Structure 1
Amino acid sequence: MRIAQVAPLYESVPPLAYGATERIVHYLTEELVRRGHDVTLFASGDSRTSARLMAGCERGLWRDSGVWDTSTHHVRQLEQVARHACDFDILHFHGEPLHFPLMRRLRCTYVTTMHGLLLPSDHGPLLHEFTDAPLVSISRSQRKPVSWANWVRTIHHGIPPDMFPFEDAPCGYLLFLGRLMPGKRPDLAVEIARRAGMPLKMAGVVHPGERDYFKNELRPVLHANPQHVEYLGETGGEARNRLLSRADALLLPLEWEEPFGLVAIEAMACGTPVIAFRRGAMPEVVENGVTGWLVDDVDSAVAAVKRIGAIDRWRCRRAYESRFTAARMADEYVDLYASLCGRVNDNQCSISAASTSAATADMRMLQEHPMRSL
């Protein structure tokens, strides 16, 4: 198949460090290329891919100090997509739904994976307007605020088996890894580690809109607990992988409805159990007592830390291999692409048949009434 993958331009594909959406786009793109599909990736110019790259900007926008208005670059990217849209069997969008009006008018086969949190007040009116837009959710939980939308599939994320090293002997610390934002409650990770009597390593990115939260709320917590927490800043590459594989457990004390939680399956691939609050997609991702513990508050999280040794790290890895590989994810997307393309072809056949029938009727009318105007 001729497939276009359209990524947001905030980070490169794959990202240097943080960037769950861009990471998933990379894994999917590489797996599709490996299977022999003709793939074009619309992404930032510093992306690294086996596919054909169409650069929408020079580098990831959040890494470019000269960029102020990111929307201008995404509008330009849409023009690139529109110019080449007819070259593809299907276009797969992963960013914000700016493309909906364009795709309605181009009438090309497309699908959109919604990667973020969906809000009835914001996404509700949009999806009521674009009831024809085919959508993929990354968890069943993600759909709930707009459950009536045009969902065509739920496809959980997947990662390649060789991306993360398995480690059977952890190094005696807990880990918080991810975006440092209020909804992920990194401050509660500090409290859990302190009360459990274990050191915590914290690594994550602070996005521009969350700098005040980091400065005024999180940094004081970190400074007040130097003996319990080591803050490492944004961490990527092999250093990030080592952090995941050597941790006794990954902490996800979520206060928001996490749409998926990619770091959870990355931890499982390393054999590292996950202790997560029972929010959002966590009950779909974490098997309680198998790949970690689902808890409801700080007290139960502290208790879960103390029994983390009951989780078999090899069993974590096997659970990942059976549920969350990039190959499984690609299987589901390719099946969806074929289904959507077949549906469009069927519609086109119906239109063609109707047009042929109408043309035949018009010809007969002309033959019977040659002076009659059509």
Structure 2
Amino acid sequence: MDLNQNTGGSLIKIAMLSPIAWSTPPKKYGPWEYMVSLLTEGLVKRGIEVTLFATADSHTAGELHAVCPRPYEEDKDMVRKVYEGLHISEVFERANEFDIIHNHFDYLPLTYSGLVDTPVVTTIHGFSSRKILPVYKKYNNSTFYVSISDAYRCNELDYIATVRHGIDIETFPFNDRPEDYLLFISRIHREKGAKEAIEVAKKAGRKLRMAGFIADPEYFKNEVEPHIDNDQIVYEGHVSQERKKELLSNAYALLHMINYEEAFGLGVVEALACGTPIIAINRGAMPELIMDGETGFLVNNVTEAAEAVEKLNSISRRRCRESVEKRFSVDRMVEDYIRVYETILEKRKREAKRPWGFYEILAQKPGYKVKRITVLPQEQISLQRHAHRNEHWYVVSGEGLVTKNSDYLKVLVGDTVDIPVNEIHRIKNTGIQNLVFIEVAQGDYLGEDDIERLEDKYGRT
């Protein structure tokens, strides 16, 4: 499918909502912003019109729109919640200008999604806590979720796709003759395993270079700083992108001693692109990134990691590079997201004569038809009846008021309604988010012209 033809020949328009902790792309750290930038630029190259909502110091070949002057992580005088609110609301107040809103800003934008008709897709880069799940669960049936690895899917949510990150491989220099140091490069935090990386280096008797911004100052002070001697253990600080690539390319191996179920591991892929093998704790998405014994080693503890250092000569650095070229290019990531957009637009295709909302046919066989129907806030279908079919409704999200002959029924999530043949009926969305219900129609004729409208606020009687 040509995505640009999906809207009747007009150019498709994507609103790309980036975080504002860092600029897009980031000057140093900022993995979410980095992915947003790569995706945005890749889409623009393919002729897709993208408006990037990011900080004012961001850069894009698309259209940049900013209300936040600079990243709040770089200016601690900024009130974070104020600019988050302004940033998110700016996108949703302009929602009708876009065909899709692509959210990379975690869960807060979802709370706006029920107020607009434009479909919202959220790439879930990570869950800071299970405490945020209620928001994701609330909008599970009215928006779309993309996971960045199969390992990091939540079994309480539905996903439209898994799209693993891609990188601009040519910007990472391949090096088949590395130096003899091990490398830790990530934010300095307990969950990233900085302390464990030091322990591996000491057990293996190897030099360790460390780089990354200090995300947990207390952890750094107590667990990392005492070991920095600028001889065996060297801390490079919060390095630039160019210095980062230099360190990755020259490293003998990358130590990735994570203490949590990591959603992806961008630094792992970047290291492999330079030809640098990985020694990583076998958790989270690591088995999806590392081919054990071919591009690195998956281990369970510090001792196994130190032993793996001695086996690194068996790893082909060229094989490491080739694995990224095949599986983690930015072009592959962009193509995957284009397929996601195509699927969403097909599912949420508007119908010109449905001013109250839209529907999607989920299944249709002789004798029955299943639809997913969305009624927009404060809108309603016509007062109507059918001569050839009965219907069964199941409310998936939102709230509404059902008319059945002269009776009125308030319906909430989980409620069901039966509409027999020839019964006069209507449903109105009485809430502030989309009302979504599944309709199962059964009968000898299921055409859309089996509707006798008795009353209609849109003048269609």
Q: Is it true that 1:111 corresponds to 2:121 in the alignment?
A: yes
1:252-288, CA deviations, whole angstroms, 9 ceiling, x for partnerless residues?
Answer: 0111111100000001111111110001110111111
Aligned position for 1:304: 308
Structure with more of its chain in strand, by fraction: 2
8 A contact 1:190–1:228 mirrored in 2:
no
The structure 1 residue matched to 2:296, chosen from 292, 302, 305, is 292
Aligned position for 1:369: none
Equivalent position SS for 2:239: coil
Equivalent position SS for 1:293: strand
Q: Is it true that 1:221 corresponds to 2:221 in the alignment?
A: no
User: 1:302 is matched by which residue type in structure 2?
Assistant: A
The structure 2 residue matched to 1:131, chosen from 124, 136, 140, is 140
- Paired with 2:205 and 2:455, the residues of 1 have a C-alpha distance of 86
8 A contact 1:117–1:258 mirrored in 2:
no
Equivalent position SS for 2:152: helix
Q: Is it true that 1:62 corresponds to 2:73 in the alignment?
A: yes
- Paired with 1:197 and 1:332, the residues of 2 have a C-alpha distance of 43
User: What are the residue-to-residue correspondences of 1:109-188 with 2, within 5 Å?
Assistant: 109-117=119-127, 119-120=129-130, 122-132=131-141, 133-143=143-153, 146-188=154-196
Alpha carbons of structure 1 residues 348 and 142: separation in structure 2 relative to 1, 3 Å: farther
- Paired with 2:69 and 2:299, the residues of 1 have a C-alpha distance of 43
Aligned position for 1:211: 217
Alpha carbons of structure 1 residues 346 and 352: separation in structure 2 relative to 1, 3 Å: closer
Q: Is it true that 1:201 corresponds to 2:212 in the alignment?
A: no
Aligned position for 2:97: 87
The alignment yields a C-alpha RMSD, in angstroms, of: 2.1
How far 1:363 sits from its partner (Å)? 8.0
Equivalent position SS for 1:151: coil
- Paired with 2:179 and 2:455, the residues of 1 have a C-alpha distance of 82
Q: Is it true that 1:338 corresponds to 2:342 in the alignment?
A: yes
Structure with more of its chain in helix, by fraction: 1
Q: Is it true that 1:189 corresponds to 2:197 in the alignment?
A: yes
- Paired with 1:24 and 1:162, the residues of 2 have a C-alpha distance of 16
- Paired with 1:295 and 1:357, the residues of 2 have a C-alpha distance of 63
Alpha carbons of structure 1 residues 346 and 40: separation in structure 2 relative to 1, 3 Å: closer
Q: Which has the larger radius of gyration?
A: 2
Count how many residue pairs are aligned between Structure 1 and Structure 2.
Answer: 357
The two structures have a TM-score, normalised by structure 1, of 0.90
Deviates more, 1:7-16 or 1:339-348: 339-348
User: 1:138 is matched by which residue type in structure 2?
Assistant: I
User: 2:24 is matched by which residue type in structure 1?
Assistant: V
- Paired with 2:274 and 2:26, the residues of 1 have a C-alpha distance of 20
Deviates more, 1:249-258 or 1:130-139: 130-139
Aligned position for 1:254: 258
- Paired with 2:196 and 2:206, the residues of 1 have a C-alpha distance of 14
8 A contact 1:142–1:259 mirrored in 2:
yes
- Consecutive unaligned residues in structure 2, runs of 5 or more: 1-11, 360-380, 383-447
8 A contact 1:117–1:257 mirrored in 2:
no
Alpha carbons of structure 1 residues 141 and 200: separation in structure 2 relative to 1, 3 Å: same
How far 1:83 sits from its partner (Å)? 2.4
User: 1:292 is matched by which residue type in structure 2?
Assistant: G
1:187-214, CA deviations, whole angstroms, 9 ceiling, x for partnerless residues?
Answer: 111111111111110001113xx12221
Which structure has the higher relative contact order (CA within 8 Å, separation 6+)? 1
8 A contact 2:169–2:329 mirrored in 1:
yes
How far 1:221 sits from its partner (Å)? 3.0
How far 1:30 sits from its partner (Å)? 0.8
How far 1:357 sits from its partner (Å)? 5.3
- Paired with 1:360 and 1:88, the residues of 2 have a C-alpha distance of 34
Q: Is it true that 1:71 corresponds to 2:105 in the alignment?
A: no
